[in-house]
A = this chain, B = another copy of it.
Amino acid sequence: MVWCAARSVRPRIERGFRIGFLLGIDIGGSKVALAVGDPEGRVRARLRRATEPSGEAGADLDRIAADARRLLAEAGVASRELTAVGVSAPGPVDAERGELVHPPNLRGWGRVPLRAALQEALGAPVVIENDANAAALAEWRWGAGRGFDDLVYLTMSTGVGGGLIVGGRLCTGVGGNAGEIGHLPVEWNGEPCACGLRGCLEAYVGGAAWTRRLRRIAPEPGRVAELAGGRERATPRELVAAAREGDVFALAEMARWNEYLARALAAVVFVLAPQAVILGTIATAAGEELCLAPLRKLVAARVWPLLGERLAILPSGLGDALPDHAGIAVALHSRAGG
């Protein structure tokens, strides 16, 4: 558990609301992050711990609520000063009902009425968004997306998720499913995807799919396998590390990775004409030389110059601080609109 020092935080008036403090809760597959902040994104107190699902959602929610109350007390924020609670949770999320729907990474969580439970426990309005939408909001408010009112955020981890800001507002679409860019087709009738379709971006650049591929094709012994302690354990992280050392196999795999990502981004550009695409997780780890610079060239070759020249392809600006801001951004979004 990590606490950060209290900083000067003041309330703000936005669209007629006086916004006091906001509580953000980021429920990840491995970690839960809670943070208390203000509408400017300044974090007053934060807490992180392992998720450790007990197998019973009710007990897990009780623990999160207890952590939240303790954090608010430590931050010196009274109940009446808490304007809203925002939750960033792994999809699928039913944002309208405020429920999680069988999140695959949270053992024992079925259909969980998270909003109702936390509202009762914390006495403030609770809003839920899936993690990609929450990250898009946070990057737009305080990260690499500041100043761009049309942007796409892509998280590239086990799966590939996306969040869209369109005209300065979160774009949710039917059932909150806008931005499922991981399932854009990048090969017609290509590799089977975990979602049941074929040729999805995620089947090529998602961490889980990539690890399966590595197990199948990585040379043994090779640098990727060596770094991972065996081919069976290889993940995109070791691939990036091996590519950074100049390993030829790893560099070829990175080129393939960038090519498929560019195909999906070209489609996104022709649909939305965004000002910025912001890449998180593995793309951030791979960095400028291995990912961003080659990706910019590949995308530019697949879109019109007038679109490519005005498109920024950027790494996440919040990086490791994202979990502290994601939930706060969701809470602010619900109060301030846009």
Contacts and interface: CB of A to CB of B under 8 A. Distances in A.
A171 B274 CA distance: 10
A93 B204 CA distance: 37
B304 A175 contact: no
A272 B150 contact: no
B185 A263 contact: yes
A172 B275 CA distance: 11
A1 interface: no
B183 A306 contact: no
A136 to B, nearest CB: 13
A2 interface: no
Contact of A271 (B176, B196, B268, B304): B268
A272 B173 contact: yes
Copy number in this complex?
2
A267 B273 contact: no
A177 B307 CA distance: 8
Contacts of A267: 184-185, 267, 271
Contacts of A171: 166-167, 272
Contacts of A197: 302-304
Contact of A273 (B173, B196, B303): B173
Give the size range of A's interface with the partner. Answer: 35 or more
Interface string A278-311: 0000000000000000000000001110110011
Nearest to A271: B271
A174 B311 CA distance: 8
A236 to B, nearest CB: 22
Contact of A270 (B150, B167, B181): B181
A184 B270 contact: yes
A196 B307 CA distance: 14
A60 to B, nearest CB: 26
A178 interface: yes
A321 interface: no
A180 interface: yes
A188 interface: yes
A125 to B, nearest CB: 21
A61 to B, nearest CB: 25
Contacts of A272: 164, 171, 173, 178, 271
Contacts of A175: 273, 306-307, 310
A69 interface: no
Contacts of A173: 150, 272-274
Contacts of A13: none
Interface of A: 150, 164, 166-167, 169, 171-181, 183-185, 187-188, 195-197, 263, 266-268, 270-275, 302-304, 306-307, 310-311
Given A175-B306, A184-B271, 10 more contacts: A150-B173, A173-B273, A174-B275, A180-B271, A185-B267, A187-B188, A188-B188, A195-B304, A197-B302, A197-B303
22 contacts: A150-B173, A164-B271, A166-B171, A167-B169, A167-B171, A169-B169, A171-B272, A172-B273, A173-B273, A173-B274, A175-B307, A176-B273, A177-B304, A177-B307, A179-B273, A180-B271, A180-B273, A184-B270, A184-B271, A185-B302, A195-B304, A197-B304
